[in-house]
Structure 1
Amino acid sequence: MSVDAEQLFLGRQPILDREQRLYAYELLFRSGSQDNTATVTDGVAATATVIANAFAELGVEAALGNCRGFINVDQEFLFSDMLELLPRHTVVLEILETVKPTPAVIDRCRALKAGGFALALDDVVEFTPEYDELLTLVDIIKIDIQALSRVQLMQLTLQLRPKGKTLLAEKVDSREQMEQCLQLGFSLFQGYFFARPTIIAGRRLDHSQLSLMKLMGLLLADADTGKIEAALKSEPGLTVNLLRMSNSVAGGMTGHVSSLNQAITLLGRRQLQRWLQLLLFASGKPNTDNNALLLMAATRGRLMELLAEEIRPGDASFADQAFMVGIMSLMPALIGLPIRDIVTPLPIADDVKTALCDDQGILAKLLGITECSESGDLTGLAEQLAQQPELGAKALNRAQTAALAWAGTLASEK
């Protein structure tokens, strides 16, 4: 069974450590084919080919940066020779709960472990003696906390803790669950609590955040430089930082940038907009150097920008609006206010407001594609792409890889 490169889909969900710093992504590779008539053997070969091509052709390994990628491994794929092609220092082989710990499976896992692969056991909900030998080989145990009561989770954790393995809580959907798992000694966390953050509630925008958003609105509305300069003058801290950055950019130029007008001209509006957007997110939470929400926002904005460029090549204004929609779509999670309350007072383009507040228009469709990609909703992703014939799966994966790499560069520069 051949696999068309155009039918390659990539889904991902972040995995965080105890400080909510990004540790890894669970990567979901699937063929986009709707043909379910292939035999099991063919399906395994197709999945193996898709994964191998993803790393070889899309550069996912480089895009992950310092993060690892967790990849699901079923019974058939565990014994596939294609597994040997994956980068051992980058991936974690996540053995699915459907894989029974037979002697052959144990021997295969032992060989993979000796060959340098890290192993994880997926969806653990109980401890039975038949898994004891397999547990000695894996590095990470993923526990499905949704399937367990508080007492059951505590009992299972007490049983597994002596094994000395890293415990990962998956399907963490609330702050209460997160705090319980922290108390029980879990080291890694995965779930919609992070991928769709709703951490802060009811907090008002402070003065600096309002100023940043107003400045972004002026830039997107293509306001004249005088208005932007006037808005900056009411923010001495921003003014000083802008002048410092501009002088740094000026490099070997004669003299220094001494006015806001000079600084705006030298930086260029697009670069100034990027700076303001990232400052806005950095101001939302303390210690955001490795904050997962900041990285997620940067990745989302960049991915939407790249998708916009695929749809309308050369349309910088449309690409800028797509970036804005992407990064602004996470503002409710960061600030704790409804998106309409955040967006309505701002002088931003109607298309941006419509996408964010009413879920209408091409920018809203691009946001939907991006959100399906983030959550690993590959069925939804296929449906969304079917409505955008100008966007192929190959273009999406290329954009996803570039967006991950860009976000990783931002994190490394902080």
Structure 2
Amino acid sequence: MSDTAADQLFLGRQPILDREQRLVAYELLFRNGTRNSAEVTDGVQATATVIANAFSELGVEAALGSCRGFINVDEAFLFSDMLELLPRHAVVLEILETVPPSAAVVERCAALKAAGFTLALDDVIQLEPEFADLLALVEIIKVDIQPLSRVQLMQLVMKLKPLGKQLLAEKVDSREQMEQCLKLGFTLFQGYYFAKPTIIAGKKLDHSQLSLMKLMGLLLSDADTSQIEVALKPEPGLTVNLLRMTNSVGAGSTEKITSLRHAITVLGRRQLQRWLQLLVFASGSQNGSVNPLLLMAATRGRLMELLAAELMPGDAALADQAFMAGIMSLMPALVGLPINEIVTPLGLSGTVRDALCDGSGPLGQMLALAENSESGELAQLAESLSRLPGLGPKALNRAQTQALQWANSIGQETPSN
């Protein structure tokens, strides 16, 4: 069944991080259909319905985990009763810069704050006197650093600090901007420096990480157990972890694991693959938190796996390849190497390799869809969807929220060495 206009929910998101670059929230962008405005007469009702559906039907609240969701609120939606359907503890209402600081707006914001909502003011670039009452109510001030010079930004922060609010630097696009905002005392950060893979400075994978990727490649290519055993043997730490984990879980078995071959057999290839994936993300952890780019890779991989299952139900091989293509697609940003150099030693299948290197085949089309769903570019997103008949907006959003939930669970449950 094709999705009707009223059912089309496009979900975009961008990470928000703290001073230690730990993920604390997402800005959530909801769309009704493939355009920025809903094709209905009541825009307020359409927006409210989209958001309510997203939290109830798509499970965004569960997918966010311990993170909060920042939601843009325009003047019309601010006064909608349906706004109060949102879970107060899970969202931050982001008052757009287009909302006039009228007496009615201030009164409404005061009521929402009294009801338990957290308020933020978006796109602040100067301290205007008429916004004084509104600024007193919000807990978070989002400063758009792009149009401001270093001096202007410093002057603005000096004026904002006495207000005692949390300052969020948005549109942080470079390391220099990040460092300046840290020095100025910003506590939250958002921008392409964190979320755009090509901008994040990477480092080469260490030997252990390369071994993990090689092992996953062997599993996905259905290599013999003996080959997997040979690849594991030079990694004593990995071997000990595998034996410990298999003995503790035992895949429901009471027998003790005594060898690598035995562990691989008892655990099963799919479980082994999942365990290796967790270790890849754990190996990228810093200060006990998972690199936001690794979380993005996890989300993208899981999203592609779910999309493959939607397109070709029952084809486990395609789903596994889709997952591998998803997580591998972000490796160039992590390691600072071209994708061709990363792919070559891993023995990946031609289908996965072609998707990563050329963007070709069904996996390449799914990869383009995943990338466009992350960017929030609606025109490209709609085009990518049109190339994958059988996938509708609702299915995409359902997969997105499930993927985010799975990736969040990785961040909370990464195994220790």
Residue 152 of structure 2 corresponds to which residue in structure 1?
152
Residue 28 of structure 2 corresponds to which residue in structure 1?
27
Unaligned segments of structure 2, at least 5 residues = none
> What is the distance in 2 between the residues matched to 1:224 and 1:36?
53
Opposite residue 390 of structure 2, the aligned amino acid is: E
Opposite residue 291 of structure 2, the aligned amino acid is: N
Opposite residue 351 of structure 1, the aligned amino acid is: T
> What is the distance in 1 between the residues matched to 2:149 and 2:278?
40
Which stretch of the first structure deviates more once superposed, 44-53 or 131-140?
44-53
- Report matched runs for 1:251-262 at 5 Å: 253-262=253-262
Residue 189 of structure 1 corresponds to which residue in structure 2?
189
The alpha carbon displacement at 1:291 in A equals 2.8
Opposite residue 258 of structure 2, the aligned amino acid is: S
> What is the distance in 2 between the residues matched to 1:57 and 1:210?
39
Which stretch of the first structure deviates more once superposed, 210-219 or 308-317?
210-219
The alpha carbon displacement at 1:252 in A equals 7.0
Unaligned segments of structure 1, at least 5 residues = none
Contact kept, 8 Å, 1:284 with 1:334, in 2: the verdict is no
Opposite residue 75 of structure 1, the aligned amino acid is: E
Residue 172 of structure 1 corresponds to which residue in structure 2?
172
The alpha carbon displacement at 1:255 in A equals 4.0
User: Cα gap change, 1:294/1:6 in structure 2, threshold over 3 Å: closer, same or farther?
Assistant: same
What does the per-residue CA deviation read over 1:15-64, in whole Å, with 9 as the maximum and x for residues that have no partner? 1111111111111111115596957x622221111111211211211111
Which stretch of the first structure deviates more once superposed, 118-127 or 246-255?
246-255
Contact kept, 8 Å, 2:16 with 2:24, in 1: the verdict is yes
The alpha carbon displacement at 1:288 in A equals 5.0
User: Cα gap change, 1:384/1:240 in structure 2, threshold over 3 Å: closer, same or farther?
Assistant: same
State the SS of the aligned residue for 1:398.
Answer: helix
> What is the distance in 1 between the residues matched to 2:243 and 2:36?
58
**TM-score, structure 2 length as denominator?**
0.94
What does the per-residue CA deviation read over 1:215-266, in whole Å, with 9 as the maximum and x for residues that have no partner? 1221111111111111111211111111111111217745410111111111
> What is the distance in 1 between the residues matched to 2:65 and 2:212?
30
Residue 282 of structure 1 corresponds to which residue in structure 2?
282
Contact kept, 8 Å, 2:246 with 2:257, in 1: the verdict is yes
Opposite residue 47 of structure 1, the aligned amino acid is: T
1:53 aligns with 2:57: no
> What is the distance in 2 between the residues matched to 1:159 and 1:359?
49
> What is the distance in 1 between the residues matched to 2:195 and 2:309?
25
User: Cα gap change, 1:128/1:215 in structure 2, threshold over 3 Å: closer, same or farther?
Assistant: same
Residue 10 of structure 2 corresponds to which residue in structure 1?
9
Q: Report how many residues are paired.
A: 411
Contact kept, 8 Å, 2:31 with 2:37, in 1: the verdict is no
Contact kept, 8 Å, 2:31 with 2:38, in 1: the verdict is no
State the SS of the aligned residue for 1:186.
Answer: coil
The alpha carbon displacement at 1:286 in A equals 3.5
State the SS of the aligned residue for 2:346.
Answer: coil
The alpha carbon displacement at 1:134 in A equals 0.6
- Report matched runs for 1:128-277 at 5 Å: 128-197=128-197, 198-201=199-202, 203-250=203-250, 253-277=253-277
Residue 379 of structure 1 corresponds to which residue in structure 2?
379
Contact kept, 8 Å, 1:284 with 1:335, in 2: the verdict is no
Contact kept, 8 Å, 1:11 with 1:378, in 2: the verdict is no
The alpha carbon displacement at 1:366 in A equals 1.2
Contact kept, 8 Å, 1:60 with 1:401, in 2: the verdict is yes
**TM-score, structure 1 length as denominator?**
0.94
What does the per-residue CA deviation read over 1:91-129, in whole Å, with 9 as the maximum and x for residues that have no partner? 111111111101111111111111111111111111111
Contact kept, 8 Å, 1:195 with 1:374, in 2: the verdict is no
User: Cα gap change, 1:48/1:273 in structure 2, threshold over 3 Å: closer, same or farther?
Assistant: same
State the SS of the aligned residue for 1:146.
Answer: coil
> What is the distance in 1 between the residues matched to 2:173 and 2:94?
21
Residue 113 of structure 1 corresponds to which residue in structure 2?
113
The alpha carbon displacement at 1:354 in A equals 0.9
Identical columns (%): 71
User: Cα gap change, 1:372/1:252 in structure 2, threshold over 3 Å: closer, same or farther?
Assistant: closer
State the SS of the aligned residue for 2:16.
Answer: strand
1:86 aligns with 2:60: no
> What is the distance in 2 between the residues matched to 1:363 and 1:136?
50
What RMSD, in angstroms, separates the aligned Cα atoms of the two structures? 2.0
> What is the distance in 2 between the residues matched to 1:326 and 1:391?
18
State the SS of the aligned residue for 1:395.
Answer: helix
> What is the distance in 1 between the residues matched to 2:294 and 2:206?
18
Which stretch of the first structure deviates more once superposed, 370-379 or 309-318?
370-379
State the SS of the aligned residue for 1:273.
Answer: helix
State the SS of the aligned residue for 2:160.
Answer: helix
> What is the distance in 1 between the residues matched to 2:183 and 2:38?
47
Opposite residue 160 of structure 1, the aligned amino acid is: L
Opposite residue 13 of structure 2, the aligned amino acid is: R
